């Protein structure tokens, strides 16, 4: 099964083409807004949000044309988030979904909520890493006497994907160059792959 996992972002949009659970490559579309102080050589800058979104959508179009996935999976919007960035991200998400609907209506498109993806990734950690510990390294328990599950941050999402594919996976990236974004897009594709295998 060929699946394209997408962690959409206006700064580092990550796409992972995957075949039967094996990532085939890592694609990062890095864009930004003109006028920022720190300019990166690997990033394209635009004078308006519309052009920025259009470029990302063109790269999606190109990736789908080349990879020809059977399914595409996005990370759903986080409705608990606030601020201007969330509205811009919603615009990007809608535009990317429009690309799929207009040009690839026969490709199944699905999405996973951020909480669902984090829950899935937590299960990929070693059992001792799945629960919170106090300063002395002792397990933290809830009032129900159940161990408290660890909150999945960026580092733990990366740790989860490396538990699956090995420490060398995504070794050429760091957090500023898209490591966590690619970890998410990989986990999205793998989660769908595993769910397909159950049906």
Per-residue pLDDT of the chain (199 residues; tens, 9 = 90+): 999 999 999 999 999 999 999 999 999 999 998 878 788 888 999 999 999 999 999 999 999 999 999 999 999 997 666 567 788 999 999 999 999 999 999 999 999 999 999 999 999 999 989 998 888 888 889 988 888 999 999 999 999 999 999 999 999 999 989 999 999 999 999 999 999 998 8
Q: What pLDDT score does 8 carry? A: 96
Q: Which two tokens stand for residue 93?
A: 């998400």
Q: What pLDDT score does 78 carry? A: 79
Q: pTM of the full predicted structure?
A: 0.92
Q: What pLDDT score does 6 carry? A: 98
Q: Which two tokens stand for residue 149?
A: 């599950």
Look at residue 50 and give its three-state secondary structure.
helix
Using CA atoms, how far apart are residues 169 and 71, in angstroms rounded to an integer?
A: 23
Q: What pLDDT score does 80 carry? A: 64
Q: What pLDDT score does 41 carry? A: 87
In 3D space, the residue among 182, 187, 179 whose CA is nearest the CA of residue 163 turns out to be 187
Q: What pLDDT score does 83 carry? A: 64
Q: What pLDDT score does 82 carry? A: 59
Which class does domain 2-198 fall in? Answer: alpha beta
| DSSP secondary structure letters along 90-153 | HHHHHHHHHHHHHH-TTSEEEEE-HHHHHHHHHTTS-GGGSB-B-TTSPBPB-TTSPBPBPP--
Using CA atoms, how far apart are residues 153 and 63, in angstroms rounded to an integer?
A: 28
84-103 and 49-67 helices, crossing angle to 10° = 40
Residue 129 near residue 141 (C-beta atoms within 8 A): no
In 3D space, the residue among 12, 179, 15, 194 whose CA is nearest the CA of residue 100 turns out to be 15
């Amino acid at each position: 099964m060929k699946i394209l996992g997408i962690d959409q972002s206006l700064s580092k949009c990550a796409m992972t083409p995957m075949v039967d659970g094996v990532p085939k490559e890592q694609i990062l579309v890095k864009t930004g807004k003109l006028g920022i102080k720190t300019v990166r050589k690997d990033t394209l800058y635009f004078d308006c949000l519309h052009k920025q979104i259009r470029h990302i959508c063109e790269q999606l179009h190109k990736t789908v044309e080349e990879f020809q996935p059977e399914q595409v999976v996005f990370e759903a919007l986080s409705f608990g988030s606030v601020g201007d960035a969330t509205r811009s991200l919603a615009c990007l998400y809608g535009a990317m979904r429009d690309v799929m609907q207009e040009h690839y209506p026969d490709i199944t498109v699905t999405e996973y909520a951020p909480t669902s993806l984090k829950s899935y990734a937590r299960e990929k950690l070693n059992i001792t890493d799945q629960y919170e510990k106090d300063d002395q390294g002792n397990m933290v328990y809830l009032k129900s006497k159940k161990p408290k599950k660890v909150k999945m941050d960026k580092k733990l999402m990366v740790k989860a994907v490396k538990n699956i594919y090995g420490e060398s996976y995504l070794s050429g990236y760091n957090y500023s160059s898209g490591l966590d974004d690619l970890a998410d897009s990989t986990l999205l594709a793998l989660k769908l792959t595993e769910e397909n295998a159950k049906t």
